[in-house]
Amino acid sequence: MIDGEKVDLTSKLQHRSNVNTGVAGDYEVKYWVRDDSNPPLETEIYRYVEIIDKTKPILEIFGDNPIQLNINSKYTDLGARATDNGIDISNDIKTNSNVDTSNAGEYSVIYTVNDGHNNKTSKTRKVIITDSNEKLCGEPIWEGGQCEDMPQDMCKNNSHSVLYENTPYHCQWSQHSTKCEKGKACGTRPEIRPPSQEPWLQRLSQCSAVVKIIYITILMDVL
């Protein structure tokens, strides 16, 4: 206001700002203006700006996913990489794993990263542990000893095999010695013929056909 009149000083308004919208945080913008009086008078005011980060980090798993290994193999995790707004934060990745290579099954490795602004990203790698010996034998591998040590009911059911110097063998019950014995190596046991191929079933089928022929013959004679 000069001599009691209002003067528009918008064109003389200046400001200074340190706002960086790419980085979360608190910033300020300073505005100030000077009039034409002598000496000039200055007025300043501040605007406060808060940049909030709502972008989740980007998480990338290295290597295969899922990954499949044979039982008792060594599992080496290849890790993961994380970035947040273009910044590498891989050192902040937390890993949680329940992988047990001594037992066949499906396991998980969970990677989690937090950018410090309550934005969290998680990814999971599936690890599948398989037993090639179990697949070859068509039944579980018993780890309680050798065939001679196997419980009677387990051996009689032909439900488990055993490793002899890393080679899997079927176990079989001997009626002669009345104990469990080492049988054939897995993969060499002859296939069991389906019941329809058993000789007694084939003979029964032939007898049935003969009966039908005789029945038809008698019926025709009666007519």
Question: What is the set of domains in the chain, with CATH numbers?
Answer: 10-51 (no CATH), 58-130 (2.60.40.10), 133-185 (no CATH)
CB of 82 within 8 A of CB of 94? no
Predicted pLDDT at 196: 53
Looking at residue 9, its pLDDT comes to 84
Specify whether the CB–CB gap between 67 and 130 falls below 8 A. Answer: no
pLDDT (tens digit, 0 to 9) for every residue of the chain, 223 residues total? Answer: 454 567 788 888 999 999 998 888 899 999 999 888 888 888 999 999 999 988 999 999 999 999 999 888 899 999 999 999 889 999 999 999 999 999 889 999 999 999 988 999 999 999 999 888 888 888 888 888 899 999 988 888 888 899 888 888 999 888 888 889 998 888 876 555 455 555 555 555 555 544 455 455 554 454 5
From the list 10, 18, 3, the residue with the least C-alpha distance to 43 is: 10
Q: What is the pTM of this model?
A: 0.56
| 8 A C-beta contact, residue 171 and residue 140 | no
